[in-house]
Amino acid sequence: MKKLFLVSIITLLTSTLFSQVDFQKGSLADMFLKAKEENKILMVDVMTDWCKWCIELDNKVYARPEMYEFANKNQVNYKIDAEKGEGVDFAKKYQVKGFPTVLFLNADGSEIDRIYGYVQLKEFVETMKDYNKGVNTISYLNEKLKNTPDDVNLNLKMADKLSMFGDMDGAKKLLFKILELDPQNASGKIPEVKFDIASMSDKEHIVKNLQDFIDGYPGSDKVKDAYITLAEYYYYNLKDKNNADKYYNQVLMMFGNDESVKSSYGQYLNAIAVTIATDSTKSESDYKQALSIVDDALPYVKGSVNEASSYYIQAKLLYNIKDYSNASASIEKALKIFDRKLYRDLKEKIDKEMSAK
């Protein structure tokens, strides 16, 4: 009985571990032929081996049954490295400019649509299912808008598409059109539209416009995103840590359990710490202070690929203060989460110092 129980546990763990999107092996030509023979569309995940959000997509989207059960049944799935082999020309042909980019293609190679960047599970699955049905693609929306050009929802979806493709001017034009079409907010979409417009503002107006949005729509579900955008803009664009702290404190107080809030704040703390870790003019006291910042970041990034970043920064700081034993332990933790060259290079430096003792 005990043996049977053990076998059952091993089977369960094995099936859980390997249950994921079935990415096919072979050439691009093989994939297009398979899609044609099976009368399916082809999903191509365009990635690189240094892309941390590609790893996050693997771990938090492709490994979930909501994703792989549909994907494995309804489409041919393929991964391609944009910097190796066929992937170089493929990425150029389809004008892939960031990673991950997930393309959905017909068997003849024509593009149905794409998902750009890391997208959370629910949105990814909904979008994938739409694309399989030929719904809410850019061509679908264009056709619908020919017949009903004043449909608020269609215009908003098209604005989202255009912004994803980098056409901010086209997106803003549609967003302002929605404001004219629906001055009384009958659609309930105006707060979302106003947030999108504010977040696309130029550098002279973005802070004021986002703050005006927060003040004007305090009950909107976009307020959280406005706080995050403001905090990130203050730190990464304006180098203003005091205001970044102010807005992060506000959003953490209001939405502290939200995954996007925790992810943004954890990355913010990592960014502060890595700036110190890579500055050779800093003192040992500075490096130790940065180690405490990494300790603060870790609970916010736990379970994500950014946890690897925290351990890498921690290892680098420990290396700077010549604590090679603990630096080695930290870089090993980073490598277990994300095996990348940057981390391997630091491990090599740490190992060299330890062997020299």
Q: pLDDT category, 19, cuts 50, 70, 90?
A: low
Which of 187, 208, 224 is a domain's end point? 187
Under DSSP, the state recorded for 23 is: B
Contact 315, 345 (CB under 8 A): no
**Cβ neighbours for 86, distance < 8 A, ≥ 6 positions apart:** 27, 28, 80
Q: What does pTM read for this prediction? A: 0.88
Query: Do 351 and 226 share a domain, yes or no?
Result: yes
Q: Tell me which residue of 264, 306, 305 sits closest to 59, measured CA to CA.
A: 305
Q: Are residues 336 and 303 in the same domain?
A: yes
- Domain enclosing residue 107, as ranges: 2-133
Q: Per the structure, how many domains does the chain have? A: 3
> Do 258 and 324 belong together in one domain?
yes
Work out the pLDDT band at 285, boundaries 50, 70, 90: very high
Task: Answer left, alpha or beta for residue 80, where phi above 0 means left and psi between -120 and 50 means alpha.
Answer: beta
Last residue within a domain, chosen from 133, 150, 167 = 133
What's the pLDDT at 15?
A: 34
Same-domain check for residues 350 and 236: yes
DSSP secondary structure string for all residues of 342-353: HHHHHHHHHHHH
CA distance 84 to 145: 39
146 shares its domain with 60: no
| Helix H or strand E segment including 130 | helix 121-133
Q: Let me know whether 202 and 342 are in one domain.
A: yes
* One domain for residues 6 and 90: yes
Coil, helix or strand at residue 240? coil
Q: Are residues 181 and 192 in the same domain?
A: no
What percentage of the chain carries pLDDT values higher than 90?
Answer: 93
**Is the domain of 226 the same as that of 84?**
no
Give the three-state DSSP class for 219: coil
pLDDT classification of 11: cutoffs 50, 70, 90: very low
Same domain, 324 and 224: yes
CATH of the domain at 20: 3.40.30.10
Which CATH number belongs to the domain containing residue 333 in this structure? Answer: 1.25.40.10
In the sheet that holds 101-105, the strands lie side by side as 75-81, 41-47, 101-105, 111-116
CB count in 10 Å sphere of residue 253: 9
CB half-sphere exposure, 229, CA atoms < 13 A: 21
pLDDT digits (tens, 9 = 90+) for 214-226: 999 999 999 999 9
Distance of alpha carbon 226 from alpha carbon 192, whole angstroms: 11
Instruction: Look at residues 87, 117, 133 and tell me which one is the last residue of a structural domain.
Output: 133
Q: Name the band, by pLDDT with cuts 50, 70 and 90, for residue 356.
A: confident
What does the mean pLDDT of the chain come to?
93
Tell whether 282 and 340 lie within a shared domain: yes
Tell whether 55 and 10 lie within a shared domain.
yes
28-86 pLDDT, tens digit each = 999 999 999 999 999 999 999 999 999 999 999 999 999 999 999 999 999 999 999 99
